[in-house]
Chain A
Amino acid sequence: MNAASSGPRALTLRILRSSPTEGIAPHWQDFHVEEAEGMTLFIALNEVRETLDPALQFDFVCRAGICGSCGMLINGKPGLACRSLTRDLGALITLAPLPVFELIGDLSVNTGKWMRGTAERLETWIHSSQEVDLTAVETPMEPELAEAIYELDRCIECGCCVAGCGTLRMREEFVGAIGLNKIARFRLDPRDERSDDDFYQLIGDDTGVFGCMSLLACHDVCPKGLPLQTQIAFLRRKMAASGA
């Protein structure tokens, strides 16, 4: 922890304010708070709301870095606000809502709508024709395979990769790294009966895996450290083979 010899820092939170429902156009507004030990952006933003502007909009749920609600641009880079410690940032911190998603107001965006759309479009559930007998002993699975599936299942739908993606800013229908990762997840899962041809139907064009420019901004910003780079490359090879 900091040796606070010179007293606590004065922080400036420069926040991009707006309210589409009330026709308030985006503009920057500065708020000043005194830094406290162990302060996160969750704590700082709540302090602003409690003491300076009770109308400030933002989304936090778990405040523990696991639910994916609090993605925003922190000094221009997508990240989870709740687990960003102010001590790792300068005294001037700019905060803006994630781009690509529909803006609700201030730092709040509608990731839910986007994610539901992705789930419907990519059918992100196990496709199985088998009727499962719930009282029977479950079908075995290799322990390593279960762990590999979980590795890809850890996506928290925070939208950071979406906000960081160059392709998505130009091509709205692009499924993004998150969508490609989901396909990789279900493709790996033996309980899902879909074949590569089925997956090709979903992502075998330039709104899918062939639209990706592989600049990998997504990989660098994913707060869960998902292996997006290897998964995208792998899928591209598989889909190229499937389409050939």
Chain B
Amino acid sequence: MRIIYTDVLVVGGGLAGLRAAVGARRRGHDVIILSLVPPKRSHSAAAQGGMQASLGNTVKGEGDNEDVHFEDTVRGSDWGCDQDVARLFVHTAPQAVRELAAWGVPWNRIKAGDREVIMDGKRVTLTEGQAAHGLIAARDFGGTKKWRTCYVSDGTGHAMLYAVSDQAVAESIPVHERMEAVALIHEGGRCHGAVVRNLVTGELTAYVAKATCIATGGFGRIYRVTSNAVINEGIGAAIALETGAACLGNMEAVQFHPTTIFPAGILVTEGCRGDGGLLKDAAGHRFMPDYEPEKKELASRDVVSRRMEEHIRAGHGVKSRFGEHLWLDITLLGAAHIDGKLREVKEICQHFLGIDPSRDLIPVRPAQHYSMGGIRTDARGHARGLKGLFACGEAACWDLHGFNRLGGNSVAETVVAGMLVGENMADFVESAAGELRVSTALVRACLDAEQAKLDTLLHGNGTESGAELMRRMQDIMTDKVGIFRTGELLHAAVEELQGLLLRSRRIGLRTRRPGGNPELVTAYRVQKMLKLALCVAYGALQRTESRGAHFREDYPRRDDASWLKRTLATWQDDFQTLPTLAYEALDVASMELPPGWRGYGARNAIEHPATAGRAAEIDAIRSAFGHADRFTVQQALMPFDHLIPARFRGRNARPGETS
């Protein structure tokens, strides 16, 4: 029996996992990171456009601060997010950017003086002041009031991931690569680590830890058309679900990104539109202003994606042999801008489409992009239902994003959550609850159970093909659980997925070798992925309203009266074919920003009975505190300081702000 002991086990070597690991290590604890691939290959590297933080350095960011970022995030989420978490996040994000700057991220910097930019299709001159020269720059992104997205050309995620990964090396944190967590070890509501499969040799090892953190990213690959990397299969979320104790939040909240190249699904950043790019139809007409006169191309992603599909349905798509698409036009930005600030986009266009985006239009269509749902945690990142289990990054439903994440808020979330969860895990490990009390009998039983499952696949007499089930699942999700949802389609999807789940118990393999066997990997992963797919489809079927990225054609209104709540999915019994759903109400009475209109998209929500009362209460507090500074007012509305680890409590300085 192979057992490895550590204080903290971090499953996932992307931005979230690495930053959490560094935090716990600096507090003096032993940390091991597991990753399917070398950490710098994690999908965080693919983030192009940037990271939101309210530094307020640039002239178009003047007046920005935590309050503005908070409101944008809550509106973006369509009021689905946890507002405490949103506050924690906007408070810590500037510190995260500055920490990364100190760690070597070459953030683009402001140049004093005049500069030409494209805004709303027109050339405009912006003038940056001397005092801002050399400070971190920001670009415009969808759904934000200010230019707040800090960036490194369009290789932001790459630069961030390399800096944080190298910090982990500097801290001598071991990363066990090509190792996959396939089950959690737990008993009586306490997690003790994970059973881990070596992807090269096939061997199983138990990693026993005082605190375990899942930071395994999103699960986009349950869809056929997705911007996600091929390793984004959601196994981390699935093994939490399989404990029957932890739960997954809001799995039906799936984001579709407006601009992935057609038909490959490779992303071109929102920065293209932020920097002035336009969406056009078959006739060359710029159609977004017709639908969204206010924010146009820069409404939130859920809105833009829907408008694009609507426009295609109305017969304005460009027809091609692979189907219909629209155009993204960045030619107006000019070759110099594209060569400097959108070079990954340029390379992708060259290599995958054979076009030059400074001269040619880019064929685009929305595709699955981000998983707002994930392992439900509290504001400290501690998983609900399982002590000693933490989660952060895209794998978690911490719940910063509710039903729609803003561009640039995700990589920001990964590092911010990593900073906080690293501290919180250290606190836990140092507390009495963090004591390691686990019997080797339990560990052995967990190892044996996983080995038995693998043996059944390897040596059983199943006849189903894992690859075929995977393909079918991905088709169902893309065709029936996509941007436009209906009861009928979702019902069919749930039925079919259940059928696939049953079939997945009878998978047989052609290759029976235990290690280095991609067929085996597909087989056990598809069994888990089908459970995630069912959480998404079934959650979407039950949610009879439209909120953020979850859009029901048969229930087009946001219904705060009945649905201002978070879906919680559990899977207690392996023989279930549907998740058990429960709901967690969001408390309007304690919200800093009660539900209202987002400022873009439809304006037809059904009001929650407590909304008006809370709004009046907030008005009263605001007038009572008439001349107090914004921090005092905020404290009175929704105190959150107690949730921040002491070392991150300080106030963020801004060049223009005296506090």
Contacts and interface: CB of A to CB of B under 8 A. Distances in A.
Interface of A: 1, 19, 21-22, 37-38, 40, 49-50, 54-57, 59-69, 83, 85, 104-105, 111-113, 115-116, 119-120, 123-126, 128, 130, 132, 134-143, 146-147, 149-150, 153-154, 156-157, 186, 189, 191-192
Given A21-B515, A112-B38, A140 B229 contact: no
A69 B518 contact: no
B169 A50 contact: no
A146 B106 contact: yes
Interface in B382-423: none
Nearest to A43: B264
Contacts of B167: 125
Given A138-B136, A150-B155, 17 more contacts: A21-B515, A38-B264, A55-B510, A66-B155, A104-B178, A104-B200, A105-B200, A112-B177, A120-B169, A125-B163, A125-B167, A132-B99, A136-B98, A140-B134, A143-B110, A153-B152, A157-B38
A105 to B, nearest CB: 5
Contacts of B101: 138-139
Given A66-B158, A112-B38, A21 B109 contact: no
Given A64-B348, A135-B652, A146 B98 contact: no
B135 A116 contact: no
Residue in B162, B231, B267 with the greatest tally of chain A CB atoms within 10 Å: B162
B95 interface: yes
Nearest to B96: A134
B102 A147 contact: no
A140 B231 contact: no
Contacts of B352: 38, 40, 64-65, 83, 85
Interface of B: 37-38, 40-43, 45-46, 55, 94-95, 97-99, 101-104, 106-111, 133-137, 152-153, 155, 158-159, 162-163, 166-167, 169-170, 175, 177-178, 200-201, 229-231, 263-264, 266-267, 321, 340, 344, 347-348, 351-352, 354, 467, 509-511, 513, 515-519, 522, 648, 650-655
Contacts of A65: 347-348, 351-352
B510 to A, nearest CB: 6
Contacts of B340: 147
A156 B42 CA distance: 12
B516 A189 contact: no
A64 B169 contact: no
A111 B515 CA distance: 19
B158 A135 contact: no
A111 B40 CA distance: 11
A61 B200 CA distance: 16
A149 B106 contact: yes
B578 to A, nearest CB: 29
Contacts of A69: 37, 41
A83 B650 contact: no
A119 B109 contact: no
Contacts of B264: 38
Contacts of B518: 49, 54-57
B516 A57 contact: yes
